[in-house]
Structure 1
């Protein structure tokens, strides 16, 4: 169970019924901690003891020792109130339910004193619930069990266990086993994105189908940042609800490559001020939701593929294992940028309830966001278990359960929040706009694109330095200058684990050879002498000059580059070539177009794919010729006439991926 998820819920109506912590607005501050809890997300314990459990009320003050109290207790039987552990009553009054947290998967066993609904007399359904919602599910299951519903001549009961949605999805989709070996009858993950992934897997052994019963709780994905940073942005003039575009630009995405007419749009948020922390999309619904969000924001834009690629590059820089890991570094300055978290709103509530040194503030972007809906899904095909699952679904959608989920920091499915959602606690009672939920096919496409785009890049960049590259493509900018500026911007997008090399080409550039290597292909963070490869590539860009009267040795250079990248192929990377040119082949002593096509067609290996993408600059380019070469490798060719087009097309090329044999 994540450390930021509350462990359990109190019994309503009990003599010491806990109250809801209202954060900074709580009169008298938060309750005093007891000494038995685990540390909070940041790995430390707030002043005064353990992190605050939002559903645990402090016990009565201890009596001062002394003879008077000792004498008062003699000669009569003293009443011992039931003991409380983690907010749940233990003892005679709590005999109706025992909640046992096991190791490993965090399974819960629910039993009732004197309960005859067991063994052959019972119709048991197994329920797997996401850890953060499990406390509310457990309470609902207890009420369901106490009701003694009769289904197919047997009493129905639910047994709940806390289970990682990713592990359950792996099992149900037929991909294998990841810690969970038994399929549940009812599944309550944190998001319908998981059920969509399973439904769209198409694998043998996948779950045959679902019976959806609706969501039991909701929580939007927000941007969580220290309250002081949120105040700083407001003082800089940023709106209370900034746009996702401005937030991504501030995090260092390639938004500067998409210039609008009249120049780049200004934002009140300084560029590269923040570093986005994103939970791993392969393991968390929050991470998947962030990808869905990015896809929705660029939908309908002709530059959509390039913009999505830029967003993925930004996200990839800040991937962390879990939501818990995001809050571990919240507020810690990392170089010149501040880590902020794309996280569920409920996680912000739980973090603040533990009384950190500085509260987190939830920022709700203007365009809206993706909600985690915690769907109740019946997997059982047996009619009796299906009916029992539907009966449990009624309890999970009851008024009492909705009160429970709100006390955990969730919103009910209609978006209603508890009274603790105030500006003082960094939260808003008003729900943000919900973006449309994607269907199963769209979720599958988005996750496939993530799988391709998140692969590390191994790329050879080749720039034409023939004499015609000195021509102007815009006032004050030659073709070569525009190319180098775009390459520099592209280099900033590549993480350190990328591999890059840089060549230039013309005709007879190095003896009789049309191309020359400036920097060898290798990891950007690798040190070569006193500098890293990234620094050497930047230095090489600054020294590139055109070769006066030089021609365009296109074919010989393309063949040499393709053979080099195939010979040094690395399967853990996307291996590609990015070639920039402003003209046709002019090396009459080199290979012809037909010879070039024949060589690449014969050498291309789908088991060791090397992709070629080509850029044509200006009006003298035969794009059909370039495209015939590139498409033999599942690449493409693009032609740009302005600096803005050069940058936009570069991002589009960067989004191209080899996805053989299964796209």
Structure 2
């Protein structure tokens, strides 16, 4: 018998053994005996299993089989090097499944020494793994699918070869913007290349994701010294969970370009063709002798399964391949669980088939429940298409997963429920649950509540008193935790006069330390995670119990991986959840069907079927297991406490879970918040020097639309970015309550500054016109005089209107003071008790970062450092966040 036949026999024996063991493992032996099957049949199956296990063990320890170092990072254990016939490395690929390796067509041509034309199916190339360099593997090109520069070739190891031990086959994952991704490979001469950064979509056509890039602050592609094609074909891995999301196709530019795996028809078709071709080839090659152990095992398994089950349900049906266009479903989910839902959506898409052949393509967008409710009330999209104003891009949902169904009730109460499905309430599914709680460190609990937990009224009074608790309360207009806290405190103060209640709430809100004030709860938790010293400044946080769970598992933003095998245990850092002594409120985490679920360009039933199937998947065993693993309570029992919650956050059952008040009453509590938070008065001043518009100020922002003239450009200048950011940021402020003044330095010819004025429709129009009239034609940068003048303006405002914790000066600048001046003289002039905080946004590499930090220290303000190109491109989001912080959102 040849070596190939022997190898084939060994592998076939393993196949039979695995099949027999699977039968025994699911209890078929017991079922068979109870069903009257003769004992000799069971004995035969078990003997085959033992023989096959022996063969498997022999192959596993066979000294001729190579090994990949198991200590290497997963991407490097998945990556293979593809050799040139003339010597050297042509590029990389990755182990996809079985013995199939995926690479690009250009790398195959390079390996064969060809000029890049023609189909290379049937050709043989040589590959090897990083730490198994002594072993070369012959691999045949078995599939070839064109997709432009990302054309795919699938290779199959020779039938006589075994994949080396320790080689990784990483699961495929979906892409979403801004997620951290990594490429890490080592070439034949020992050079390790590792680039990590945010995934950014480069080209898009509808829902088809064609090309993405890795934008790294440390540089990538040619900016990092990579030669053209140096890491082509290397796997791109999602940092959070080590799933492969794409493969490198170009390193000739400043950024690494890569093609995605998910939603890539060429990839799906190439793998499907490779599977079919490989199976046909194996069937033709294997000898009868090699098949005998497998045939015996399979026959025995089939016979036993048929006798015991009769209907063949023992064998799970294979997942059908995709046919036709995929069904796109858009899912909007609260930000406390968007990463988890994205993971579950990937799993669902792998197995769900509409009409047995159509696949789905889920698009998951994390949007806080209150913002999603407001967007739904306003028809969702504002220009540009599918952009939630301001700053968060998300398509209209077919399925909405808010934290609480109260948000949908509020939409109905307001008469803005047109986007909800007609029967949304009867078709709604609860997918998990959580409860409101008081989050604090173990040390703080012992210090403040040694005698037992407080009532809601006692908690608010303690936070409102001088030298009392510092208490973080989220915004009830946009946050579910904030809304629940507002309900709990208002209900607890039901017998207290309105003005006294409002003053108590205002004092409680003002107790938050400045370093943490005005931050959304998850962002606050993330900042305390990154800077543990801030945790000592905070006594308590009113939020969802699961927020503490994520913090203790070192993932405050709810992104995988969770480190719950080693949660926080230090009493000074570990958060525990205190349930109030009177009541709490639960969140039902519903899956709500939207009107869009009934609308489709094709079969109107297909989207509805896919959406409802996904909701049922979340409510099923697989979804429930993941929700509980991530710190949620059982869907049907919010009072129930899982062992996991007890271990990680010391969870307890609430004294009672109160029903929510009617939507009209909750809306009244939300409106009251506007009188609880202090009004914002902000002076915004924009650098108008020539450097804001010269050729060096261009930034790559694909699809950018100038907010003033409506023109699209992929490389806006600093001023265009600043204008859009300013317009979006002002949208965070409220008419009739908040006020804005606007200046520029130096002022354009004939341009008038906008004085401090309370916002309304007319003032917003005046601000828009003034912002768009800033022209970037100034020749100098009088930064110091601009800040000195802004301080004079704002100090006069404070004296006239009274002190406000949300009064601030916001400066956007890309350059140092010109002409040169004495910074010490400026700092001396602006010091004093009435000083107003200066929040500086440093734009581009020329920004005077040292000066801005000195001004921050003198005024108690802040600095947002956007000196790298990637950071400048994020100016809109940063400034919106600054203004959101001033309002307490």
* Larger relative contact order (Cα-Cα within 8 Å, sequence gap ≥ 6): 1
| TM norm structure 1 | 0.48
| TM norm structure 2 | 0.37
Could you say which structure has the higher helix fraction? 2
